[in-house]
Amino acid sequence: QTGYVTLDVGYKNTGATKSNITFLDGELGVLKYRGYPIEQLAEKSTFIEVAYLLIYGELPTAEQLTKFQSDLTHHTLLHEDMKKFFDGFPSKSHPMGQLSSLVAALSAFYPESLKSNQTAEEQNQSIIKVLAKMATVVSWIYKKSLGHPVIYPQNKYDYVTNFLNMTFGQRTEEVEIDPVVVSAMNTLLILHADHEQNCSTSTVRIVGSSESNIYASVSAGISALWGPLHGGANQAVIEMLEQIKNDGGDTDKWIAKAKDKNDPFRLMGFGHRVYKNFDPRAKIIKKACDDILEKLGINDEVLEIAKRLEEVALQDPYFVERKLYPNVDFYSGIIYRALGFPTDMFTVLFALGRLPGWIAQWKEMKENKEPIGRPRQIYTGATNREYVDLDKR
């Protein structure tokens, strides 16, 4: 082994890059996008304004925001041939597998995005297109899962309202999109928009570092996010809460299972690689849960189970010693469900929220002209062996 390498499996203590985009303080539970506290952005901003902030580095002026929204509006349509890809999936195939494939398929329609040395304008066109079109892809995945006709984007709507209309709208009649739902969706998407070098973002950066195009890089990020240890946790949390509810709501029994090293069960939505304190996003979502469910007149029994689980876990030495707190995925599914989304769409919604962060980080990696990502290893395999003919094995 020439030279030496520092082994850090899972990159627990490795800095992969320098970034100006998102700041986390795991000990204090602090999250900031371009220096702005997540609490202020969640309360005062909109998802598209936060997308602009993450991608271009500054809060937009009114004129810049209007142009950004207009650019997005004029790229929301998918090429009609994209429908053939949608039709190819079995009706119950997981939305994340569809989304990853469909976003990669978009590259077939925009060959200009395949150029590795794009001009700034060409790169920005690719950014606008993937951000605009993924919302349409997500809503059409949902419509196809119901066997319903897809709803086309409408230029009169802003990005989030357009997404909700394509998702919950009907071909046969105009559907009023509830402002409470629009506001809740903006907040959830803002809270998911970026999170420094998490598993899926690191995947987007490393795929992009080979000069692969933005669609392939985002598609890879979607695949990484799918796992239940990462974005897939929001679906796993609701499935866990349902399981506990159906099992009589005995939270002590499930906390004991989560602590039992011989039991593979983990308390989904709990713990975090960086946060060793409350995930600030979980705090905001927990508060929003009560507010939104009350406004929508919904009483969801699993919310009470979630609150009880949190309360018991936060007093249990096993969780306290390991600094395991609720993360962004612990309460988000409860709101998604209240907004009308089925459980298997939750991680796709995480991906839609994370998209501006992936784009911003991909753009920064290219602006920094970072080298192709290629880590080393500690080799522990066989040293030197002579080939053995088949008849002698």
Q: Which of 140, 131, 78 is nearest to 345 (CA)?
A: 140
Q: Which is nearer to ligand SDX, 53 or 324 (CB)?
A: 324
Q: Which is nearer to ligand SDX, 126 or 327 (CB)?
A: 327
Q: How far is the CB of 144 from ligand SDX (least distance, A)?
A: 27
Q: Which is nearer to ligand SDX, 257 or 295 (CB)?
A: 257
Q: How far is the CB of 96 from ligand SDX (least distance, A)?
A: 14
Half-sphere exposure of 128 (CA within 13 A, CB side): 18
344: left (phi over 0), alpha (psi -120 to 50) or beta: alpha
Residues 6+ apart with CB under 8 A from 374: none
By CB under 6 A, residue 205 contacts ligand SDX = no
Residue 231 is encoded by which pair of tokens?
């974005």
Residue 17 burial (CB count, 10 A): 15
Number of helices followed by number of strands (H, E) in the chain:
17, 3
Contacts to ligand SDX from residues 273-292, by CB under 6 A: 273-274
Task: Indicate which single residue of 324, 339, 345, 359 sits in contact with ligand SDX (rule: CB under 6 A).
Answer: 324
By CB under 6 A, residue 195 contacts ligand SDX = yes
Q: How far apart are CA 235 and CA 333, in angstroms?
A: 7
Q: Which is nearer to ligand SDX, 329 or 364 (CB)?
A: 329
Q: How far is the CB of 233 from ligand SDX (least distance, A)?
A: 3
Q: Which is nearer to ligand SDX, 199 or 296 (CB)?
A: 199
Q: Looking at 39-47, 140-148, 260-268, 334-342, which segment touches ligand SDX (CB under 6 A)?
A: 260-268
Q: Exactly one of 272, 279, 300, 344 is catalytic; which is it?
A: 272
Residue 175 is encoded by which pair of tokens?
């559907």
Secondary structure of residue 176 in the 3-state scheme: coil
Q: How far is the CB of 231 from ligand SDX (least distance, A)?
A: 6
Is position 195 annotated as part of the catalytic site? no
Q: How far apart are CA 23 and CA 197, in angstroms?
A: 10
> Do the Cβ atoms of 163 and 352 come closer than 8 Å?
yes
Where does this chain bind ligand SDX (CB under 6 A)? 195, 198-199, 229-231, 233, 258, 266-274, 322, 324, 327-329
Catalytic residues: 272, 329
